[in-house]
Structure 1
Amino acid sequence: MNYEQVLTYLYERLPMFQRQGKVAFKKDLTNTIALLEALGNPHHRFKSIHIAGTNGKGSSAHAMASILQAAGYKTGLYTSPHLKSFTERVRINGEEVNQDYVASFVTRNTELIEQINPSFFEVTVALSFSYFADQQVDIAVIETGLGGRLDSTNVITPVLSLITMIGFDHADMLGDTLEKIAAEKAGIIKPNIPVIIGADQPDLQHVFRNKAAQVEAPIQFATTRVKSVSESLLEQVFDIKRDQQEDLKSLKTDITARYFLKNLPGIYESIEVLNRNGFSISDEQFRIGLSQVKRTTGLKGRWQILSESPLTIADVSHNEPGLSVLLDQIQAHTSGSLHLIIGMVKDKDVKKVLQILPPDAHYYFTQSDVPRSLSSEDLQRMAGEAGVSGGAFKNVNLAIDEARKNARSSDLILVCGSTFVVAEIEGL
């Protein structure tokens, strides 16, 4: 099979959470373990960093990879979902996995796949681990997909685990309280492997402390202070202060989404732990890596500028905590009206998101072309019940066209609410 045939095979034959939702989620690691054993356990042949969390794990993973690359390490990066191309999920030093490798891997393992009958995500994990092993990476940064404890990536024994902010997401599968969700994320904590808890959430600390104590893992709650100095559409400038150490001043990052600053304490202290465990990453390499995350790793969909007149921004924020920060930042960057294009999936807490939307914006409700997508008409109806009105559009590009017709040059157009809506923007 060639690359296109392989993708068709994977999408049509294997259950895929991004498209089907809960029915594609398998609550054990049996298939992943069986796949990897048949492949010679490639995940045992490279070092790794494991990252879980509700918000911030993707951008943290990209930032960690960029910093490690700046320090000269051959760095693998596994993230999900992809926006435009399947190959975005698997990168080495920012370069996406070769399409020929994807085609070859699936073709030669078709019999194994049909014997085990894994999910789409389980095959993707196995492919990425095989690729990193074959390419002999120095280190791979691995982002969990859903949860942590039962996530397919949770077969690795990393050199470090990082857990970012915990919020309400996938509550129907991970638990209906923050404590239950945190317990699932804490499942990546491994015996004797250091773990950094990046977010300042005191009410959840006992969950992580208990899990770390059970497996005798050194645990560290990030206390680094990050102070924003300035922000523009292209970069953020900030200072880092760490107890008993000199400050790092005037650092820059090209991740211009304001919520990214909340991830920096965990990222910074993760680098400290790596340096205590055999790695060599200088302050200057840390500075360089953060300044070029998008350029180095190909990160998309985080405060991504699509055009400048009117200013049009796409962001994959899709739950209440992330959208709250995003909307605050948006208000600081427009002198005109806000045109908000939003689409969501059925299994999110749609009502909670609708409650935080600014009442004075112009709304364009849309949907993506995946089965999990909430129809634009249903979203429009629910928004109306919450006191927010606007038009319904079957495709995000139609919504963008309409917003551009209506917007003045001083206005701002924001596309958000679902990764899958952002993914369907033409030319992203």
Structure 2
Amino acid sequence: MPSTLADWLSYLESLHPKTIALGLERVEQVRRKLNLQPAFPVIIVGGTNGKGSVCAMLESILHAAGYKVGCYTSPHLLEYNERVRIAKQQASDAELCASFAEIEQARGDISLTYFEFGTLAAMQCFISHQVDVAVLEVGLGGRLDAVNVFDADVAVVASVDIDHVDYLGDTREKIAFEKAGIFRQGRVAICADGDVPQALRQHAQAVAAELWCIGSEFGFQLPSPAGGGEGGGEAHVINVGQPLSLALSRSREREQKPMGQWNFYSKVGTRSSLPFPALRGAFQLHNASAVLAVLDALKDKLPVSMEAVRRGLVEVQLAGRFQFVPGLPQLILDVAHNPHAARSLAQNLAALPPAKTFAVFAMLKDKDMTGVVEALDGQIDVWLVAGITAPRGATAAELVQVLQDVQVRGEIQPCASIADAMHEASNRAGENDRIAAFGSFYTVAEVMRVRGLRYG
């Protein structure tokens, strides 16, 4: 058997002919062999975008409340250990290797993908550490994703939009059906997308899940300028698919109140005078509201004080999600890799003070490159384009062709690598300019390496 984590990861990558093989039968067989039955509440978080933010806020608040939290997310940026955290500490190489070895012995001739192996290992670590609650992020879709072998006490769908069409379908309704597969009978299912797909509502009804939707069963309010306080403000729900002008006006409203407060309401009650989440972006109040709805749904099993909520919101960290890196010129890291996330990034950039913006841009070729470019065209002055040296990576030439086809307004400059693009941006940008690195987890990870940044 492999002896180091790096050896194990190389071995896992070679085990299955496909990187992604949706279906629960194989991983469920191994789960049973290992007798992985969590005795603690399980929260499963899905969605096209926003999953990572919801998981990070849940982890931060529940940790602040004194609970030992197991958190499983993907993909990682710099090190695999980022995916598995217990009490906000990354799992060690030794315990991950031990879990992989046990799974390898138990699976026999059952084939598992890299992600399926990792999902079982994460839960094994959580059970071993006797965590109080586990937060599991869906890898792809939901219905047939490996995390769905575990029953969610509360399930969250942060957003629904077009992505992974080869696996999930080419319409919002088809994708919503796949994401709703994490819902469970008699348990709360939460949707933080302001435009709830009918397929999601229908599936919740079919499995007898209790569906809570933002703007209905829960939501947020911004206090009125006159200080209306609880219940006196205006309720908001932003849909990323709205015309840019409408969404921008509302996002600017939020960005202009970074030190302000907001109120949360649900069918359970209200939480007032809350600090804005430390995570930047106009849509983080949607994600934060989903998090507080989860806490309301689990209030009997996991009571959380207002002090813990406030502390968790203020202290939450998540690399690569509209992340500002200290220094000049301003550097923003965002893993936005589909049109939905790109529209959100564009709106967040537009809400900032005007500045010349250099893009460090690289994507995977199986993503909607045209949709991402179209969404960000109006916010980028110089496109510094690089290829990704991975099997699914687009070349710089392929991305340049997309930019030319879209007829972007900004200058286009191909670069030999993401590192070269970052160096070029740093050389060309003045102190008052801005650098935005986006397009993929690979893009952000490489920029972090170039800048010597650490995760978390």
Map 1:29-40; keep pairs closer than 5 Å.
29-40=24-35
Residue of structure 1 equivalent to 2:151:
157
1:110 Cα deviation after fit: 3.2
1:13 Cα deviation after fit: 3.6
- Contact between 2:358 and 2:382, CA under 8 Å: does it hold in 1? yes
Does structure 1 residue 385 correspond to structure 2 residue 405?
yes
- Contact between 2:220 and 2:285, CA under 8 Å: does it hold in 1? no
Distance 1:278 1:307, change over 3 A: closer
Runs of 4+ in 1 over 6 A off after TM superposition: none
Residue of structure 1 equivalent to 2:60:
66
Name the TM-score, length of structure 1 as normaliser.
Answer: 0.90
Q: Deviations over 1:39-88 (max 9, x none)?
A: 12x24333211111111111101111111111111110011101111011
1:333 Cα deviation after fit: 2.8
Residue of structure 2 equivalent to 1:351:
370
Alpha-carbon distance in structure 2 between the residues aligned to 1:394 and 1:238: 45
Mean CA deviation greater in 237-246 or 114-123: 237-246
Alpha-carbon distance in structure 2 between the residues aligned to 1:87 and 1:356: 33
Residue of structure 2 equivalent to 1:26:
21
Residue of structure 2 equivalent to 1:317:
336
Distance 1:410 1:150, change over 3 A: same
Distance 1:232 1:377, change over 3 A: farther
Distance 1:236 1:328, change over 3 A: farther
Distance 1:415 1:226, change over 3 A: farther
Alpha-carbon distance in structure 2 between the residues aligned to 1:11 and 1:278: 38
Does structure 1 residue 265 correspond to structure 2 residue 289?
yes
Mean CA deviation greater in 327-336 or 243-252: 243-252
Map 1:24-423; keep pairs closer than 5 Å.
24-40=19-35, 42-113=36-107, 115-202=109-196, 204=197, 206-223=198-215, 224-227=219-222, 231=255, 237-242=260-265, 248-275=272-299, 277-294=300-317, 299-359=318-378, 361-388=381-408, 389-423=411-445
Residue of structure 1 equivalent to 2:242:
none
Structure 2 alignment gaps of length 5 or more: 223-250
Q: Deviations over 1:278-312 (max 9, x none)?
A: 32112221111111111xxxx21112233421111
- Amino acid aligned to 2:155: S
SS in structure 1 of the partner of residue 285 of structure 2: helix
- Contact between 2:15 and 2:112, CA under 8 Å: does it hold in 1? no
- Contact between 1:230 and 1:236, CA under 8 Å: does it hold in 2? no
Distance 1:94 1:365, change over 3 A: same
Alpha-carbon distance in structure 2 between the residues aligned to 1:160 and 1:406: 48
Residue of structure 2 equivalent to 1:20:
none
Distance 1:272 1:45, change over 3 A: closer
SS in structure 1 of the partner of residue 309 of structure 2: helix
SS in structure 1 of the partner of residue 332 of structure 2: strand
Distance 1:55 1:109, change over 3 A: closer
Alpha-carbon distance in structure 2 between the residues aligned to 1:271 and 1:302: 23
1:27 Cα deviation after fit: 2.8
Q: Deviations over 1:158-214 (max 9, x none)?
A: 211111110101012101110000000011111112111122114x1x322321222
Alpha-carbon distance in structure 1 between the residues aligned to 2:254 and 2:181: 37
Alpha-carbon distance in structure 1 between the residues aligned to 2:165 and 2:261: 34
Mean CA deviation greater in 123-132 or 357-366: 357-366
Alpha-carbon distance in structure 2 between the residues aligned to 1:151 and 1:246: 34
1:232 Cα deviation after fit: 8.4
- Amino acid aligned to 1:147: G
- Contact between 1:380 and 1:390, CA under 8 Å: does it hold in 2? yes
Does structure 1 residue 5 correspond to structure 2 residue 7?
yes
Structure 1 alignment gaps of length 5 or more: 16-22
SS in structure 1 of the partner of residue 416 of structure 2: coil
Mean CA deviation greater in 114-123 or 259-268: 259-268
- Contact between 1:232 and 1:256, CA under 8 Å: does it hold in 2? no
Q: Deviations over 1:93-141 (max 9, x none)?
A: 2101111011222234434456212100010011001000111011001
- Contact between 1:31 and 1:118, CA under 8 Å: does it hold in 2? yes
Distance 1:413 1:134, change over 3 A: same
- Contact between 1:47 and 1:138, CA under 8 Å: does it hold in 2? yes
Name the TM-score, length of structure 2 as normaliser.
Answer: 0.85
In percent, how many aligned pairs have the same letter? 30
SS in structure 2 of the partner of residue 364 of structure 1: strand
Distance 1:232 1:35, change over 3 A: farther
Alpha-carbon distance in structure 1 between the residues aligned to 2:344 and 2:10: 38
Aligned length: 412
Alpha-carbon distance in structure 2 between the residues aligned to 1:111 and 1:59: 35
- Contact between 2:48 and 2:160, CA under 8 Å: does it hold in 1? yes
- Amino acid aligned to 1:216: A
Distance 1:252 1:355, change over 3 A: closer
Alpha-carbon distance in structure 2 between the residues aligned to 1:342 and 1:262: 27
SS in structure 1 of the partner of residue 161 of structure 2: coil
- Contact between 1:31 and 1:122, CA under 8 Å: does it hold in 2? no
Alpha-carbon distance in structure 2 between the residues aligned to 1:113 and 1:257: 43
